[in-house]
């Protein structure tokens, strides 16, 4: 038990995770501009409103060769808490509400626009990444997250 706790503590020290107040400190990129969460939510909603309804309803299609850039971005910003496999298993004890990004139920319930808004504005202990990633990078992350879905 002590070994697992030590390993988790070491991972958090190396890779970081949300601090008190829901902020993270990414090691590789600094936020270009930190907008207020309300402004970020409004921007994400306006971007989603500009997309055709059919595009919002359909999951992002990923090329057959995969989404290498989306995977890199996911590993840099999301895997610290959700894990490299997207299940969130390694952080579930500390954050019971962490999303399992492999869940077929999650993928059927959430549209791409919903995931985009969640990444951009954050929720609960998940910090906003709208100031860390550009909109096109967030779309690459969404496309990669769609590849994590387990068969039903």
Residue-wise pLDDT for 11-49, tens only, equals: 444 445 554 444 444 444 444 444 444 454 445 445 544
Contact 85, 20 (CB under 8 A): no
116, 44 Cβ separation under 8 angstroms: yes
41 torsion bin: left (phi>0), alpha (psi -120 to 50), beta (else): alpha
Confidence of residue 152 (pLDDT cuts 50, 70, 90): confident
Q: Is the pLDDT at 116 greater than 80, yes or no?
A: yes
pTM, whole model, 2 decimals?
A: 0.60
pLDDT digits (tens, 9 = 90+) for 74-108: 999 999 999 999 999 999 999 999 999 999 999 99
Which residue ranges form the domains of the chain, and what is each CATH number?
A: 34-147 (1.10.760.10)
């Amino acid at each position: 038990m002590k070994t697992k706790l030590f390993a988790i503590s070491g991972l958090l020290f190396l890779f970081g995770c949300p601090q008190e107040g829901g902020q993270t400190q990414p090691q590789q990129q600094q936020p270009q501009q930190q907008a207020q969460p309300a402004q970020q939510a409004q921007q994400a909603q306006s971007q989603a409103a500009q997309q055709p309804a059919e595009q919002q309803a359909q999951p992002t299609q990923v090329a057959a060769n995969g989404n290498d850039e989306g995977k890199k971005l996911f590993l840099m910003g999301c895997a610290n808490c959700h894990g490299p496999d997207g299940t969130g298993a390694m952080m579930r004890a500390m954050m019971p509400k962490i999303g399992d990004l492999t869940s077929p139920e999650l993928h059927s319930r959430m549209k791409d626009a919903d995931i985009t808004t969640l990444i951009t504005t954050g929720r609960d202990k998940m910090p906003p990444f709208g100031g860390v990633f550009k909109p096109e990078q967030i779309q690459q992350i969404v496309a990669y997250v769609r590849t994590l879905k387990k068969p039903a």
